[in-house]
Amino acid sequence: MAKGFTIDYSVFEKRAKALAKRLGKDEREFVRQQTGILAREVAKFTPPFASFPTFRGTAIGSKADEKQGRWAIYMDVKWICTVKPDDVISKAKTSWGSGPIIYGGKMISKGVIDSTGSLHAWHKANQGPNNRTKALKGPERYWVSLSAFTQYVKEQQNNVGTAKAAFAQASVALGAKGSVPLWVKKNMPNSQGTGRLSKGSKGTTGDISGRAGGLFHTNRHVPKLMKNRLVKAVKRGEFLMRKAAKDSNFKVV
């Protein structure tokens, strides 16, 4: 299930905004840069990641992050099915049809799945609002043919990076510096991300928004990311003011 949210950039409308206004004609550029950097930081703190990210560096994701995402998908699907060789699945269908598999008077499986379409439906049925898949015990699982399982997992692994892509898109729209990993970039068409600036009576404001499966897990990090960006934006704004004053031969206390 795709989850989306919008980050209101009004947190900058106090100290950082005051600094931006003092920059005069550079206000819009200042807000654009800070909004774009925030978008990259949100993408960075969006799963998958091999180890929890920090504020150091500008990379949105690494090869290790991609590998972790692919492994997570493999395990996600593995928890809801019991993989069997294709010939075993064929024999099971002959014996039990599409119904539960009963052996020794006990149900040992809900039935058999031998197509990616059916596996996809079963996968979605076991996903919660937060996109997490419920782990099932043996009798609650379907027996799934190895070929269907392998193909379906591969298809799903192609989507690794979709959640990160939403805010990577927003950062690109705002002209933020920094590259976007190929495994994230290729999923931009599968996600929705925007970065906008608007001019109002109180000056320039910016906002970023994203929508894609997996963003539920990013939501809890947003307050921390906005606080960090606010602190750095203030420092950057103060630096620019000092530099402008120095270039103009004015003394700044």
Residue 249: exposure state from Cβ atoms within 10 A (0-12, 13-18, ≥19) = exposed
Length of the chain: 253
pLDDT at 226: 64
Encode pLDDT of 31-41 as tens digits.
788 888 888 88
pLDDT at 242: 54
**Low-confidence residues of the chain, pLDDT below 50?**
1-2, 7, 9, 11-13, 241, 244-253
- Return d(Cα 171, Cα 42) in angstroms, integer: 10
Q: Is the pTM of this model over 0.85?
A: no
pLDDT at 215: 65
Task: Say if CB 173 and CB 194 are below 8 A apart.
Answer: yes
pLDDT at 85: 97
pLDDT at 45: 85
